[in-house]
Structure 1
Amino acid sequence: MKAASQSAVFGRRKEPHTVIIARGNEIRHFTVRPWVAAAAGSALAAVAISYLLATSYLVLRDDLIGAATARQARMQHAYEDRISALRAQVDRITSRQLLDQQLMETKVSELLERQSQLSQRNGRLGPILDKAQASEVTEPVSDGKAADERADISVPTGQPLAYAAADAAAVRPFSFWSTRSAEPDSESRADRADKLFVAINKSLRSIEDDQVERIDALADNAYQTAGAITDALENAGLPVSADFGKSGVGGPLVPLDNPMAFDSKVKELDEALDTLDRLKKEARKLPLANPAAGRSISSTFGVRTDPLIGTPALHSGMDFRAPYGSPARATAAGTVIKAGWNGGYGRMVEIDHGGGFTTRYAHLSKILVAPDQQIAVGDEIGEVGSSGRSTGPHLHYEVRRDGEAVDPLRFIKTGKKLGQYL
C-alpha cells in the first residue's frame, strides 16, 4: 500500500498557476507560466535600475560638467602661458638679432670709412712714391731684401674688406620655427663676426702704421741724402743755396692716431724730397765729374816748374795723361761759349755751367762742339791732343768761378763722394 501511495504522489501532474478574473457574467483566466513571471520581473528590475541610473546622472551631471570645464580652463591657461613664454623668447631673440645687426652695420660702416681713408692715402702716396723713386730715395733695408719689395704700402684692390666682412658676418634671418636653435647659433655667428672684425681692424691698423713708418723712413733717407750732399759741398767750399738743416724746429704734438698725422707725414716727405731735388739740381750744375775718367794725373793745380822754361809758374788747372784721340768729356751740363784756337791753350772748348762756373778743356787734337751748343754731363766735346803750348798729348782741364781759376781736384773728389746720390 505504501508503494502504491508513493507512486500516486509522484505520478500526480502539476498544474500551472491560473489567474481567474470575474466581472459580472464575464469570467477571464490567465495562465501564469514561470518564464513569463521571470521575464516580467527582469523587465521591472531593468526599469527600476534605469530609473535609478538616470536619476543619479541627472544629480551628478552638474558636477561632471563643472570638472570638465575647470580642466579645460586649466589646459587653456597652460597653453596661453606657453604661448606667452614663446612670444617673449621670440621677442628677446629678435631684439638681440636686431642689436647684433645694428652693431655689425656700425662696424661695417667703420671699416668702409677706414678703407676709404686708406684709398685716399693710396691716391696721395702714389705721386709721392713716384717722386721718391725719381729722386732715387728708397727705404733703408736691414734684412737684406730689396727696398722696393718693402716699399709697397698701397691698399690692395678688389673686393672691399668691409664688404667681405659683411658677407662673412651676415646674420641669418630669424624664423619662428627655429626658436630652439636660433639663440646659440646667433651667439656663435656673432662671436665669429667679432673675431673677423678684430682681425680686419688689426690688418688695417697694420697697413696704416706701415704706411706712416715707411713714409718716415723715406723722409729720413731723403734728409740724410740731402745732408750728405750739403756736407760734401760745404766741406769742399762749394756754394749751397739751400737752407737745409739751418732753421729751428718745433710745433704742436700731434698723436699718431690723429688723422692729421698722416697728412703731416706726407707733407714732411714732400718737403724733404723737394729739398733733395733742389740740392741735386744745384749739385748737378757744378762741374763734379771727371773729364778723363780712368786716366792718371800728370800735373796738379798750383805752383809748379814750367815744363818748357823750367821756372816756377802757376798752373791754373790739372793735366790728365792720355793718348791722342782719347775722348774729353764735359763735367757738367752747360752751354759752349768758346770752341776753337786760344793761344797757349791750343784747341780749347769752354763751357758755361751757370752760377759763375765755367770749365776749359785745352790742347785738344779735335773739337767736336760749336759755340752756343747745349751740352749734357758726360758728352764728348773733343779729343785729346797736344796743340798749343804742350810737350805731349794730354788733357788740360780748368774750373773757373767768376773768371778765377780754382782747384779742379776739389770738385772731382766731391763728385766721387756724391756719385752715389747724384
Structure 2
Amino acid sequence: MKSTGQTSVFGRRKEPHTIIIAHGDEIRHFTLRPWAACLAGSVLAAAAVGYLLATSYLVLRDDLIGAATARQARMQQAYEDRISALRGQVDRITSRQLLDQQLMETKVSELIERQAELNERGSRLGSMLERAENTVGASLPSTAPDAADKPDNRAEITQPAAGYSLASLDATDIKPLSLWKTRTGSAPDDTTADRADRLFSSINQSLRDIENRQISHISQLADNAQRNADAISDALETAGLPAERFSSPDGGEKSDVGGPLIPVDGSTMFDSKVKDLDEALDTLDQLKKEARRLPLANPAPGHVVTSPFGVRTDPIIGTAALHSGMDFRAPTGMEARTTAAGVVVKAGWNGGYGRMVEVDHGQGYATRYGHLSEILVKVGDKVTAGEVIGRTGSSGRSTGPHLHYEIRHNGAALDPARFLRVGKKIAQYL
C-alpha cells in the first residue's frame, strides 16, 4: 500500500513525528518538530553537563579549598620569614649601632679624661714655666731653638685644650650611627663610622702631640737649668771658690746599672720630668744664691787697672812690697759701689787706706774700698750689690785719685782678678 503523503512528482514526503498518548477514552497526540527535538536534546545535554560539573565541583571543592588554603599558608609563611629576616637585620644593625655608640662614648670619655689631665698639667706648668724663665733667665735663648724655627707654644702647652670642646660633651650627646644623617637626609654607612674614627684618631694624636711637647719643653728647661748650674759650679770650683755640687737629675753615671724593664705611661713620665725640672731649678737657685753672695762684680767697670794684686814696687818708697788689692783709675768723686750684698763692718779712716769702707759678705768673705774722698754709709748698714757706699778720692797713702779694692777671706787677702774673671764668666747665668 502506498502512503498518502507520497506524490509522483517529488517523491516521498517527510512527515513530522507525532506522539500519541491514549488514556482511557481520551487520546492526545503531539507533533514533534525537528528543531524542537534538537532544542530538547540540547537542553537535556546542557542539564546533564551542568549536573556533571556541579557534581565534579562538589566532589573537588574540598581539594580546591585545601589547595588554596595551602597556597595562602605558604604565602603567609614566606611573608613571615621575610619579616623575621628583616627583623633580624634590624636587630643586627641596632646592635652594631649600640656597639658603635658605646665605643664612641668610651673614646670620648678617654679623650675627656686626657684633656682634663692636660688641663691639670697646664695649671701645674704655668707657675713652673714662669719660675723656670725667671731662674734660667738670659741663658735660655742660647740653648733653646730659634724662634724662627719653632714658634712659641707656651700658651698651647699651658692651655692644651683651648682648641677643643670635648669637655662640653657628655655620653648622652653621642648619637647612634643611625641618627648620623647628612643634611640631604641620606642614611649613614660605613664611611660615617670611618670618618668618626678618623676624627677621634686625629684628636687623640693632637693630644698626644701636646703631651710630647709638654714633656719635651720640660726636659729642655731642666737641661738648660742643669747646664747653667754646672757652668756656675765649674766656674766657681775652677777659681777655688765655694760651690756645693748637686747631682744632676739624670743620676750622673749610667754604667753598672740594671733591673727589670718596666715601661712608663705618659703620666709617670710627666711627673718624672716635672720632678727633674724642679730639682734642676732648685740646684740653679741655690748656686745663684751662693754666687751672688760672693764679690764677683767689678767695682769700677770700664776703668783701667793701674796696679794689680801681688808683689810690686811701692810707689812711695820704691821698694818691693805686697799689694793686697787692685787699683782702678778713677776721678775724684766717682761713685764707689759694692760688689755683693753684705753688712758694713768698717766705715771711716783706716791708716794707709785713708777713708775706707769694709763690707762683710758672709762665709768669711769681705771687701774693702779704700782712698775714698767721702763715705756714705755707717757701720751696721745692710747694703745690696751695686749700692753706692762712697766716692773715690786720694785719701791716705796714695799718689793720686783711684779706687783701691780688696777681697779677703777669713782675713787673708785674695787676688780680686780671680773673682772678676769668674764674675764675667757667669754673669750671663745670674
Which category of TM-score, normalised to the shorter sequence, fits these structures? 0.7 to 0.9
Equivalent positions of 1:278-357 (< 5 A) are 278-357=286-365
Task: Give 5+ residue unaligned stretches, structure 2.
Answer: 1-8, 10-15, 181-185
**1:370 partner letter:** K
Report the equivalent of 2:224: 221
Report the equivalent of 1:208: 211
Report the equivalent of 1:172: 177
CA contact (8 A) 2:354 2:372 kept: yes
CA contact (8 A) 2:233 2:244 kept: no
1:156 aligns with 2:160: yes
- Higher mean C-alpha deviation, range 127-136 or range 75-84: 127-136
Secondary structure class of the residue paired with 1:358: strand
**2:290 partner letter:** E
Inter-partner Cα distance in structure 2 for 1:144 and 1:208 = 21
1:99 aligns with 2:99: yes
Q: Deviations over 1:179-235 (max 9, x none)?
A: xx86xx342222222222222222222222222222222211111111110111111
Inter-partner Cα distance in structure 2 for 1:35 and 1:254 = 120
Q: Deviations over 1:82-105 (max 9, x none)?
A: 011111111211221222222222
Question: Aligned pairs, how many?
Answer: 408
CA contact (8 A) 2:136 2:224 kept: no
1:363 aligns with 2:346: no
Q: What is the deviation of 1:169?
A: 7.2
* Cα gap change, 1:110 to 1:325, in 2 (>3 Å): same
Q: What is the deviation of 1:110?
A: 2.3
Q: What is the deviation of 1:331?
A: 0.5
Secondary structure class of the residue paired with 2:136: coil
1:389 aligns with 2:392: no
**1:321 partner letter:** R
Secondary structure class of the residue paired with 2:157: coil
Report the equivalent of 1:13: none
Report the equivalent of 1:410: 418
Inter-partner Cα distance in structure 2 for 1:352 and 1:342 = 16
Taking structure 2 as the reference length, the TM-score comes to 0.81
Q: What is the deviation of 1:393?
A: 1.1
- Higher mean C-alpha deviation, range 267-276 or range 303-312: 303-312
Report the equivalent of 1:277: 285
- Higher mean C-alpha deviation, range 46-55 or range 201-210: 46-55
Inter-partner Cα distance in structure 1 for 2:83 and 2:97 = 21
**2:325 partner letter:** G
Equivalent positions of 1:126-165 (< 5 A) are 126-136=126-136, 138=140, 140-145=143-148, 149-151=152-154, 153-158=157-162, 159-161=164-166
* Cα gap change, 1:224 to 1:333, in 2 (>3 Å): same
CA contact (8 A) 1:169 1:189 kept: no
* Cα gap change, 1:317 to 1:286, in 2 (>3 Å): same
Inter-partner Cα distance in structure 1 for 2:314 and 2:225 = 47
Report the equivalent of 2:270: 262
Secondary structure class of the residue paired with 1:224: helix
Secondary structure class of the residue paired with 1:94: helix
* Cα gap change, 1:211 to 1:167, in 2 (>3 Å): farther
Inter-partner Cα distance in structure 2 for 1:301 and 1:333 = 23
Secondary structure class of the residue paired with 2:400: coil
* Cα gap change, 1:26 to 1:57, in 2 (>3 Å): same
Q: Deviations over 1:9-40 (max 9, x none)?
A: 9xxxxxx9999999889999999999999988
**1:302 partner letter:** G
* Cα gap change, 1:167 to 1:342, in 2 (>3 Å): farther
Report the equivalent of 1:230: 233
CA contact (8 A) 1:132 1:273 kept: yes
* Cα gap change, 1:24 to 1:146, in 2 (>3 Å): closer
* Cα gap change, 1:244 to 1:340, in 2 (>3 Å): farther
Secondary structure class of the residue paired with 1:313: strand
Report the equivalent of 2:183: none
CA contact (8 A) 1:168 1:193 kept: no
RMSD: 3.7
* Cα gap change, 1:254 to 1:57, in 2 (>3 Å): closer
Report the equivalent of 1:5: none
* Cα gap change, 1:213 to 1:165, in 2 (>3 Å): farther
**2:244 partner letter:** S
CA contact (8 A) 2:136 2:225 kept: no
